[in-house]
Amino acid sequence: MTIKRDILLNKLIQAKNHNLIKILVGMRRCGKSFLLFNLFKQHLLDSGTPPDHIVEIDLESDDLLFCRDAITLGKEIRARLPADDAPCFVLIDEIQHAEPILPEGTALSRLRPEDRPKAYITFYHVLNGLLKRKNISTYVTGSNADLLSKDIATEFRGRGETITVSPLSLAEFAETMPNARDFYQIRDAYLAFGGLPECALLETESEKRRYLDNLNATIYLRDIVQRYNLKNDVLLEIVADTAMSNIGSLSNPTKLSNAINSTGKLVCNETTVRKYLGYLESAFLIQNARLFDLRGNRYLDYPSKYYAVDTGIRNSRLNFRQDENTHLMENAIYNELIRRDYAVDVGVVEMFATVDGKRCRKRYEVDFVVNKGDMRFYIQSAWNIPDNEKREQETFSLRHIGDNFRKVVVTGDPYEKPWTDRNGVTFIGIMPFLLDPRSLETL
């Protein structure tokens, strides 16, 4: 079964004529290679691009192990390029495998120590060389943000464009369940097992669990340990599990380190936890949403929220023990908003309240402050609203923001159609909200 990924595919199509290196990044197994070598390549062929004007280099293929140094890679690409000036597309998978190499005849001993790293030819040189030919459009994939994104500004000097590839959206995931009984089954499966394409195509829950458990055991954290040469991989696992366990809750590195220390298993400090959280973000395992003071119109240094990039990987890390639908739904909403290219923060409204007869300042949370251009939305996630008391509770912070931007409550009811209450707050079920990529703009 081929899963359509039209939104991501359109981003690659729109970038065809940009004179930039297009860099696809995202967590491992999220579908970068399939998107590039299958869906995008088919688009090129359907659009009339001759097959010999599409150069494919898969650096994870056994047949191309000889290309795993930058100089040989450059030679292989040039050998495959057609001689004419017609549009040509170079597609390279897992570019990080092209290791830096010293040109023949270079004597490092004659160079100053600080100049020796500059003597190596890297894949950045190869890619920058392709930019000189205006008819070539180059797309590459990489598995880790730290590998590419941090270097784009310096190595490409504004000539690189990053396209983030996420796991399947709920709309894409639903295509893999054509025989589902109802929306409840699709919703629950998506929150439990996430959106990694290969996992979504497996038939049974036990197969899905084994797949996710295997990825957690053999790839994700091991990649981080190897990339950063970490000595304490046990602490990395505990930091990952603690962050995953706290999705949707306001937190910070100090709070997480205190939670880890309280278990008595290990002793760690806030600095180490902060560093490890950064590694998890670089590997596209978690994302961080900052706290924004809506009355003060400013960002607060702490706390913030962490969300899992894929709920299936999160649940697998916790052995499927913490299946809190409230937090999982909030996580899915956050991921969908990011996928739709919104800027997303966690909001807070500060107000005075009387507590035990004393007047004090209290903070009330708004799950998401969502911005794109001149549009802004405030969103609350509420799994269940059984009565008016709960409805008043869920909308309290929204009703006290004090501006006229649209306020929305997304509920766990997969069949709830959009409707607006007397306070101007719009309610919509999770399936109508997630299935329509323009659900916010059309409310």
Residue 144: pLDDT band with limits 50, 70, 90: low
Task: Tell whether the model's pLDDT for residue 143 goes beyond 90.
Answer: no
DSSP state of 349: E
Domain check: are 267 and 310 in the same one?
yes
Evaluate whether 92 touches 129 at the Cβ level (below 8 Å).
no
Q: Is residue 334 part of a domain?
A: no
Looking up residue 350, the CATH number of its domain turns out to be 3.40.1350
- 20 and 93 in a single domain? The answer is yes
DSSP assignments along 112-140, one per residue: -GGGGGGGSB-HHHHHHHHTTSTTEEEEE
Q: Are residues 114 and 41 in the same domain?
A: yes
Alpha-carbon separation of residue 345 from 100, 300, 366, 435 (angstroms): 39, 11, 9, 22
Average per-residue pLDDT for the chain: 92
Read off the pLDDT of each residue in 140-162 and give the average, rounded to a whole number.
Answer: 68
Tell me how far apart the alpha carbons of residues 58 and 74 are, in angstroms, rounded to a whole number. Answer: 14
Residue 81 lies in a domain: yes
Where residue 35 sits, what CATH number does that domain have?
3.40.50.300
- Nearest alpha-carbon partner for 331 in 287, 394, 377, 386: 287
How many structural domains comprise the chain?
Answer: 3
Determine the residue type at 256. Answer: L
Residue 30, φ and ψ in degrees, nearest 5: -90, -5
Q: Choose the final residue of a domain: 164, 195, 230.
A: 164
Residue 1, domain member (yes or no): no
pLDDT score recorded for residue 344 = 98
Last residue of a domain, one of 141, 164, 187: 164
Measured CA to CA, the distance from residue 233 to residue 330 in angstroms comes to 29
Give yes or no: residues 157 and 204 share one domain: no
Kindly give the pairing relationship between strand 419-420 and strand 425-429: antiparallel
Range among 96-100, 115-119, 379-383 rated most confident = 379-383
Q: Which of 124, 147, 164 is the last residue of a domain?
A: 164
Question: What's the half-sphere exposure (Cβ side, CA atoms, 13 Å) at 27?
Answer: 27
Residue 394 has a pLDDT of 94
Residue 373: domain span: 344-435
366 φ/ψ angles, rounded to the nearest 5 degrees? -115, 120
Is the pLDDT at 154 greater than 70? The verdict is no
Do 210 and 182 lie in one domain? The reply is: yes
Q: Mean pLDDT throughout 297-322?
A: 93
Q: Residues near 383 by Cβ (< 8 Å), separated by ≥ 6?
A: 325, 326, 329, 411, 412
How do residues 409-436 score in pLDDT, each as one tens digit?
A: 999 999 999 999 999 999 999 999 999 9
Q: pLDDT band at residue 151, thresholds of 50, 70 and 90? A: low
Same domain for 23 and 132, yes or no, is yes
- Comparing CA positions, the residue from 40, 333, 377, 13 lying closest to residue 187 is 333
Residue 328 belongs to some domain of the structure = no
Contact (CB, 8 A) for 436 and 418: no
The pair of three-digit structure tokens given for residue 426, joined into one six-digit string: 């719009």
Question: Is residue 281 situated within a structural domain?
Answer: yes
148 lies in the same domain as 179:
no
Domain with 267 in it: what CATH number? 1.10.10
Pair (373, 258) in one structural domain: no
136 and 44 in a common domain = yes
d(CA 27, CA 180): 28
Q: How far is CA 275 from CA 165, 201, 255, 259, 264, in A?
A: 24, 35, 14, 16, 21
What single DSSP character describes residue 228? H
What is the 3-state secondary structure of 242-301?
Answer: HHHHCCCCCECHHHHHHHHHHCCCCCCCHHHHHHHHHHHHHCCCEEEEEEEECCCCEEEE
pLDDT of residue 147 exceeding 70, the answer is no
Distance of alpha carbon 320 from alpha carbon 176, whole angstroms: 22
Do 58 and 127 fall within a single domain? yes
- Residue 339 belongs to some domain of the structure: no
* Residues 216, 177 share a domain: yes
Q: Is residue 443 part of a domain?
A: no
Asked if the model's pLDDT at residue 38 lies above 90, the reply is yes
Nearest to 252, CA basis, from 302, 320, 208: 302
Residues 36, 141: one domain? yes
Spatial separation of the C-alpha atoms in residues 165 and 177, rounded to whole Å: 22
Q: Which residue, among 346, 316, 319, 354, has the nearest Cα to 330 in the 3D structure?
A: 346
How many other C-beta atoms are found inside a 10 Å radius of the C-beta of residue 156? Answer: 18
In a domain? residue 441: no
Which pLDDT belongs to residue 402? 87
